[in-house]
Amino acid sequence: MAAQRKSTRQRLVQAALQLFAAQGVTETTTKQIAELADVNEVTLFRHFGSKHGLLLAVIEEAEVFTQLGEALGQRADDLHSLPQALQVYAEGHLQAIEQIPEFVRSLVGEAGHYPTENRQAIGRGLSQIHRYTAQYLATVLSHNQMNASEDTALLMPLSAATLASLMNALLLGYAVIEFTTEFHELWPDREAFIADLVSLFLGAATGRAGAIAPTGRLAQFVPSQTGSRGEILDLPAPLVREILQTARKSGSQDYALAYVLFGAGLSPAEMARMQRSHSISDDQQHLLHVVQGATRQVPLNQWIMGHRYGSYTKNPLTQWLRSRKDDQPALFINEAGRSMSEVEIRLRWQTITAEIIAPSGHPPLIEQAQQTWCVEMLMRGISLESLSILTGSAPEQLQPYVRRAQEKAALEQAIRLDQRSSIKSDASS
């Protein structure tokens, strides 16, 4: 019975979307929707209460933009040219809207007549599109910067999130113009608009202020809210513990994902390409086989910032893998059961850490997990040469991490001396 109810609900949602897209919300009747879904009108009202209730379900459950977001996530890893990435996104966004032109017209033109919850649902849908876009742009921009030389690395005056907001607003505005007017003469055609859009954003992306955070193998990380280039922002132990505990409450895959970030120091791009077979463990060790860039093996630590997370054979990652019932070879998977892309990994991190504030005053960025691992390994006594082998990075690239580890060691020494002086003072008094 439950399966039948779900099937009926899905038929009604799909029928409504089809009719809304073809003739708009106002012109579509509940009788037409019920007939197309092959149910009676009473069933529609039992499930959704009214046409506006059904519209709310369509907004929240329609897969047009979800599919666009997933497609972006899968393509972002392979798009290393910024102009190409911007063009691909703009074309995909407009093509997605083009599938439902009448629905878009209705949403825009009739939104003032919708109940509050419907307008809120539209806002949530736009926010979801924004999150995918921001992570897509951040991923492609970081790849672009990682492949550029020091002199030609792109600097951004705006964050990827701000660029995503502006780009989506312009694309939606153009779509509304295209769908609601004739002979507007603003652009000769869609291709011309996209070309101008790409040129505009390339100009913004090559400005002179601020720096986008690279996300490649140990590329120096400079979030827009921090200071000078090359600054290392490793996270304090209590904050790392909080992130891991929050991830644990979020689910076994999120816990495994955070554990790999802090326990092996991998980048999101490296994690997106990992397979189940790349996790190798026995009683003596747990290794991860990294295939992106220089092929290498990295240890997955039991101990992270003073806390132990299971054993080599029983830890958050092995528990996640044992719990799975699917045949997907990827180490991490999305809700559709496909390999999780770098963009989607970043979105998961964003969700896990949304309520956590780092010393910078902002939620921690995913690159800070990799930085924390590098600094911790140096603090434990690993040599620069060994860390270079594990990370696949040249020793000179790791010098900022060496400096940061030295700073932390100096602080710890000073604190111990102060504590020792305090003990002596108490003993003599």
Convert the pLDDT of each residue in 261-296 to its tens digit: 999 999 988 999 999 999 999 999 999 999 887 789
Fold of 64-205: Tetracycline Repressor; domain 2 (1.10.357)
Identify the CATH number of the domain defined by range 237-415.
1.10.443.10
d(CA 218, CA 229): 14
Top-level class of domain 2-61: mainly alpha
CA dihedral sign of residues 300, 303, 309, 311: positive
- Predicted confidence at residue 220, as pLDDT, reads 37
- 299-327 CB burial, b ≥16 within 10 A, e <16: ebbeebbeeebeebeebbbbebeeeeeee
Q: What is the pLDDT of residue 429?
A: 60
* Rounded Cα gap, residues 30 and 36, in angstroms: 10
Q: Is the pTM of this model over 0.85?
A: no
Per-residue model confidence (pLDDT) at position 317: 97
**Tell me, what's the pLDDT at 63?**
59
Greatest alpha-carbon pair distance for the chain in Å reads 91
d(CA 13, CA 62): 8
64-205 has the same fold as 2-61:
no
Domain boundaries, the chain: 2-61, 64-205, 237-415
Region at 282 (left for phi over 0; alpha for psi -120 to 50; beta for the rest): beta
Rounded Cα distance, 110 and 263, in Å = 51
Radius of gyration over every alpha carbon of the chain, rounded to an integer in angstroms: 25
Q: What pLDDT does 403 receive?
A: 93
pLDDT computed for residue 90 by the predictor: 86
Low-confidence residues of the chain, pLDDT below 50? Answer: 1-5, 148-156, 207-229
pLDDT on residue 65: 56
